[in-house]
Structure 1
Amino acid sequence: MLPVATSKGEKPTCADDTRPGTTYGKVRLPNLKVESVLRSQQPRDKNDITIITQCSLDRLYMLEEQCNTWQGLTSVAVYYPLYIFQSTNADRLREAITTVENFHEQIDRSHGKCRMDIVLLSEVIKPHDEWSYPYNALRNHALVRSETDVLLLLDADFLVSEGVHEALTATDKAAALMEDLTANKKIIVLPAFETPRTLSEETGKSYALQAQASTKAELKSMFDEGKIIQFADFYPVGHGSSNYKKWFSSEGTEPYPITYKTGYEPYVLVNRRTVPWYDERFRGYGWDKVMQIYHMDAAAFHFVSHPNAWVMHRPHPNSAGYNRSFTGEAYSTNHKPTDHMMKMEKIAHGMMDELKVGTYPDVGVTQLAACREKWSGGKDTSKPKLVWW
């Protein structure tokens, strides 16, 4: 086994301390317990960029696929539910820890410059609540363990286009990127694509890998041929503001501003010191990323496109949360939101109202609020005048 840093036998960091269950309003936040912390033993660079992501234990394979397209750091929170009153929890948890440790060892040994930090988190839930996945609480645990100043907020089922990491982390480019994100309050959007859902999973995976490795011109050809499409086009507002037509026609070195519209949820490059926390009241499916992006817009950040970078969704079976939200008689017959979706929507509108009048907590709604000062670090006063595109 490689020597790895774990939570066992070490002085706990802020994020690793045991926390009592808390509520905001009438909503109880997820109560996650840190079971293991594994850090890559490979060299690190201060100019690197860290992907912030999360997944369940059964989707570790997605992290490996993502790692193949990202020669940088990844901070990932892995979720493992335990079931209330079940005598097998201890044995299952030991198996989960072993699985994650073995996976981490394999990644650190065999994936080149891809360096991955993993935190395994458990939560005791009722068996019928397994679909209620705590996306945002997991994202916050990945955020708080990040160390680089620039982060890429991305889901585990996405591949990053060829050469992006190398282009952005060159010494002069990294300094200029940090300047844009800090002094100019920029949020850099990477347009997201997927393959048509009418394709077989095998064909979709093949097209996704081809698109990830393409040039922008080759990507446009695939788009025009219908091999790839705008991500989540069934929810056009989610990525429509990225303006795919304009992105394809834009010059290779020229970004353009993006006009935010409520519901927008792109994948973005952000400054670790200023990015808002994810609101942990959102779990299951719906409004989770939407409201974090809404928070950024309310904080007067400016969204701009990256002209040469994109992310590509790799097809996979639907999650339990997705199936609970978008299948079943209530939705398929009447196309009405489920009770859970209506609850999430109510929280979202309440959060919007709070942000408009300035009563939403500065640290956001998270059990990790006390970690903010240590996590964000000191103020960066360097202001290089460079063009990072």
Structure 2
Amino acid sequence: MCFVNVVYLFYMWGARDSAVCYPPPKAERHVTKYRNGAISPNLLYNNDFAQNWVAWRHYGRYRLSHFSNGVTRATNKQHPIHMLAIYDGDFINATPDLPWNGVLQPVDLRDHTSFMGSGYYELRFDVDYINLSLKGNLNIKMRAVTKDFTPMDAHTTDNVFSVPNTDGSGNQLMNPKKGEVLSDAVSHFLREHQKDLHVLTSRASLVMYSKKPLNYVTCYIYPEVPGIVLISNTSLTVRHVDYKEDPSVKVNMQRFEKDDSAKLSEKIGDEFKLRDLMWEKRRVQPFYRQSTRHFNKKTDTTITAQLDVSRFSRLIELCKQWDGPMSVVIYIKEQKDIRDLNTLLEDRANMAALENVDIHLAHKRELNENLYPINELRNIAIELSKTEYIFTIDVDFVVSNGLNQHIKSHLQSTNYPVDVFFVVPAFELDGYSMENTKIFPKDKRELVSLLKQDKARQILAASFEEAHKPTDINKWIRAESTYEAIYSEHWEPFGVVHRSAIKYDERFAGYGWDKVSHIYYLHKLSFQFLVLPEAYTIHMEHATSTSWANRTTADKEWIFSSWFESITEFNFKYFPQYFNPIDMKNVATMNHDHNNNHWFDHKV
């Protein structure tokens, strides 16, 4: 396993900017408007990390450590030093899968913004830091959610400030050696510079504006490359102003007149870019080709799927195994796709296979759509389905014989529940592809035989077992009736659910966390997961053009921030009573939160 090559060290001196704003629960919300340029108090909770992990969340995959305590010899006063560390042994030479890492905190702004007749809300995010060895960008970011839940434009970068250090202008003060115990090296540095930490401290600031009142904003701090950064203090303030400042950027200016160690960097951004009236709406052509059969709205289940024209043959293979209704969205990137689709639909064999299928077209947006909008397409397919129960699946999976009838019997025996997700176990089979479809097992008994011969296995068993582990394949092998599966992180089963269930989060595009987030929501909303004993689906091999390994660092960072923003918004909508820095982790546990509730404490 790779470990991220970044160390966060958090410390504090004195009581500078130490006030926090964590209001107690109120019967009525009182909104402070901050007119005439009046500035709010610091709205970040535990802004100087004096309370260790409290309120801050880990923006990455790896374990954090917290270092604290120390005595200032000059004044003999307690001088708390707070340090978060992410490293492992030989981390200097590691090549991590996810090179960035950091922290984030959602901040409730309901009491600090309201509808105003004119002007803007100005948000200012300040980060004080000492750059010990970072030679790449230090990024600070704000992502906002308005009170009408207008989403941010997925492609904007105006809300990110990257302070460059690649050329050494960030003034690295340490050069850790291979094999050196980093905690010891940093402790030595802090002790050596007790009297002059303030003149070594740089500041990065990001200013953004909003015409609309905001529900909350999430503040991020993260570098992208190996290095050590000490972060002493953070601040988020809001005020109402009549005019915006002109956008500008200044980086690594000298902060203090008599010492050039500390730098001052500031980005004055513009308004948060939202998907408002300027956002291009997607063109959808429903029922481009309609099914020629009729089904029972209550007892039948509709397979909902999405694809582009290049995977049409896989759709046909799925249709051969499924005798129920299907609602399929085809993603159209250019006019040639429609011509190719029409040619395929004219084929008699295809026409026969598609007699159960409603085909809808969703056209690519002309501007800024680089990733396949997988969850939006899923939601379109669900919206245009005709039955009460839906089975969302990818067309790279083919389902077991008689699955429609199997599902019918279990829906009837459970009295058609609306809060149950019926899991269809997923497998991979050696050699199963479009060129070799005859090896598909005809029933569970044949599949179990292949499993025992190690010719088949749970999907992603080798690369990411957690994705389907809760399904418990060993239990499924023995099962003669449904059994309950217990949710755990990263689970992404396929299955059947009532169409009224929460929809897929459309901020997810491309590959990563698109299904994980949906199952997480169902779990938090107290859905029960029942595994169907005779059901299965098998993945058809194909080129992994969208694999995680082919993603850029920017792609991966976007997926992670989308995941965090998604469950933050989910928490806000469904558990508003817990939307505060203390309680929020209990509802919206993110990756490794449960491991990092107590970052390991060390004495400096």
Same fold (TM over 0.5): yes
Kindly state the Cα deviation for residue 100 of structure 1 after the two structures are TM-superposed.
2.8
Paired letter, 1:351: S
* Range moving further from structure 2, 288-297 or 118-127: 118-127
Change in CA separation of 1:194 and 1:209 when aligned onto 2, cut-off 3 Å: farther
Match of 1:302 among 506, 510, 528: 528
| Structure 2, unaligned runs of 5 or more | 1-148, 155-274, 577-604
Distance 1:30 1:347 in 2: 20
* Match of residue 211 from structure 2: none
Alignment of structure 1 residues 365-380 onto 2, 5 Å = none
Q: Is residue 135 of structure 1 aligned with residue 377 of structure 2?
A: no
- TM-score (normalised: structure 2): 0.46
Alignment of structure 1 residues 353-368 onto 2, 5 Å = 353-358=568-573
Paired letter, 2:483: Y
Alignment of structure 1 residues 100-179 onto 2, 5 Å = 100-104=341-345, 106=348, 109-111=351-353, 114-125=355-366, 130=370, 132-169=371-408, 174-176=411-413, 179=415
* Match of residue 316 from structure 2: 64
Change in CA separation of 1:146 and 1:35 when aligned onto 2, cut-off 3 Å: closer
Change in CA separation of 1:240 and 1:30 when aligned onto 2, cut-off 3 Å: farther
Q: Look up the SS of the partner of 2:318 in the other structure.
A: helix
Distance 2:471 2:460 in 1: 13
Q: Look up the SS of the partner of 2:417 in the other structure.
A: helix
Q: Is the 8 A contact 1:181 1:271 kept in 2?
A: yes
Q: Is residue 216 of structure 1 aligned with residue 453 of structure 2?
A: no
Q: Is residue 342 of structure 1 aligned with residue 557 of structure 2?
A: yes
Distance 2:475 2:449 in 1: 15
Q: Is residue 258 of structure 1 aligned with residue 258 of structure 2?
A: no
Q: Look up the SS of the partner of 1:50 in the other structure.
A: strand
Q: Look up the SS of the partner of 2:340 in the other structure.
A: helix
Change in CA separation of 1:359 and 1:48 when aligned onto 2, cut-off 3 Å: closer
Q: Deviations over 1:102-155 (max 9, x none)?
A: 44454674238x50011111113469x65x111011111101100111111111
Q: Look up the SS of the partner of 2:303 in the other structure.
A: strand
Change in CA separation of 1:235 and 1:154 when aligned onto 2, cut-off 3 Å: same
Kindly state the Cα deviation for residue 205 of structure 1 after the two structures are TM-superposed.
5.7
Q: Is the 8 A contact 1:49 1:73 kept in 2?
A: yes
* Match of residue 41 from structure 1: 292
Distance 1:226 1:68 in 2: 26
Distance 1:103 1:351 in 2: 38
* Match of residue 541 from structure 2: 315
Match of 1:248 among 460, 469, 477: 477
Q: Look up the SS of the partner of 1:270 in the other structure.
A: strand
Paired letter, 1:229: R
Please identify which structure carries the higher strand content.
2
| Structure 1, unaligned runs of 5 or more | 1-21, 83-92, 331-337, 362-389
Paired letter, 1:282: F
Q: Is the 8 A contact 1:192 1:311 kept in 2?
A: yes
Match of 1:291 among 513, 517, 534: 517
Distance 1:160 1:69 in 2: 6
Kindly state the Cα deviation for residue 35 of structure 1 after the two structures are TM-superposed.
4.2
Distance 2:150 2:319 in 1: 36
Distance 1:256 1:270 in 2: 16
Q: Deviations over 1:29-75 (max 9, x none)?
A: 88421246221122333322110100011111111000000011110
Distance 1:109 1:299 in 2: 41
* Match of residue 549 from structure 2: 326
Q: Deviations over 1:178-224 (max 9, x none)?
A: x2432xx211001000124xx5x66x864x653442x3222111011
Q: Is residue 230 of structure 1 aligned with residue 482 of structure 2?
A: no
* Match of residue 5 from structure 1: none
Distance 2:325 2:343 in 1: 18
Paired letter, 2:567: M
Kindly state the Cα deviation for residue 229 of structure 1 after the two structures are TM-superposed.
1.3
Q: Is the 8 A contact 1:97 1:120 kept in 2?
A: no
* Match of residue 55 from structure 1: 307
Q: Is the 8 A contact 1:107 1:116 kept in 2?
A: no
Q: Which has the higher contact order (CA 8 A, sep 6+)?
A: 1
* Match of residue 325 from structure 2: 73
Q: Is the 8 A contact 1:278 1:292 kept in 2?
A: yes
Q: Is the 8 A contact 1:158 1:314 kept in 2?
A: yes
Q: Look up the SS of the partner of 2:467 in the other structure.
A: helix
Q: Is the 8 A contact 1:81 1:122 kept in 2?
A: yes
Q: Deviations over 1:299-334 (max 9, x none)?
A: 110111101101111112223x33xx3137x6xxxx
CA RMSD of aligned residues (A): 2.7
Change in CA separation of 1:50 and 1:102 when aligned onto 2, cut-off 3 Å: farther
Paired letter, 1:221: S
Change in CA separation of 1:100 and 1:59 when aligned onto 2, cut-off 3 Å: same
Paired letter, 2:308: S
Number of residues paired by the alignment?
301
Q: Is the 8 A contact 1:40 1:108 kept in 2?
A: no
Q: Is the 8 A contact 2:304 2:393 kept in 1?
A: yes
Paired letter, 2:374: Y
Q: Is residue 282 of structure 1 aligned with residue 508 of structure 2?
A: yes
Q: Deviations over 1:227-262 (max 9, x none)?
A: 111112211111111011111122x2x211111012
Q: Deviations over 1:266-293 (max 9, x none)?
A: 0011111x22111111001101111111
Q: Look up the SS of the partner of 1:181 in the other structure.
A: coil
Distance 2:439 2:408 in 1: 24
Change in CA separation of 1:66 and 1:224 when aligned onto 2, cut-off 3 Å: same
Q: Is the 8 A contact 1:188 1:303 kept in 2?
A: yes
* Range moving further from structure 2, 274-283 or 23-32: 23-32
Q: Is residue 24 of structure 1 aligned with residue 250 of structure 2?
A: no
Alignment of structure 1 residues 182-197 onto 2, 5 Å = 182=418, 185-196=419-430
Kindly state the Cα deviation for residue 360 of structure 1 after the two structures are TM-superposed.
8.2
Q: Look up the SS of the partner of 1:75 in the other structure.
A: strand
